[in-house]
Structure 1
C-alpha cells in the first residue's frame, strides 16, 4: 500500500517552479532556457526517485520543449498563455491543427 507523502510536490508545484523561473527571466529568455535545461535534469532525478510521476514529467517536458524551442519573440506569448500553465494542459495535436 502506498501512502501519499504530504511533502511530495504536486503537479501545480512543479509547474509553478517552471513558471517562476521563466517569469524571473522574462527579459532574458536564454538565461531562462539554461535554467529550464537544469530543471529537466532535476525532473529526471525526481522521477527515478519516485517523487515525480511519469504523467507529470511528460507535462513538464512538453512545456519545456515549447519554451526551449520557441523564438525569442514567441517567448512572451507562452509566458502569457494562462492555459499553458494549468495542470492538465496538453499540446495541440497535428490533427487539431489540420481541422
Structure 2
C-alpha cells in the first residue's frame, strides 16, 4: 500500500505551517517570565543596606517606594527607572 505523496514545495509549505503553529502554541502555553533587572538591583541594594545596619530595623513599604522613585543625579540630567521596569534612563533615554 503506497501513500500519496505531495509535491516538494507543498510539503515544505505544510512543514513550515506546522512549525509556525507549534511555535505559537508553545508561546501561549509556556509562562512568560520577564526578569526585571532594575527591581533585582533595588532588591540587592536594600539587602546590602539591611545587612550593614548594626541594629535590626524593620523595612517598611514606604521606604521601599521612596527608594524606587528616587532619581540619581548625573551629568546628563536625572536617571529614572521606567514604570514598566527596565534599565534606568536619563532625559535623552540613554542608560545611566
Normalized per residue, which structure has more strand?
2
TM-score (norm 1): 0.28
Higher-Rg member (1/2)? 2
Question: Which structure is higher in RCO with an 8 Å CA cutoff and minimum separation 6?
Answer: 1
TM-score (norm 2): 0.29
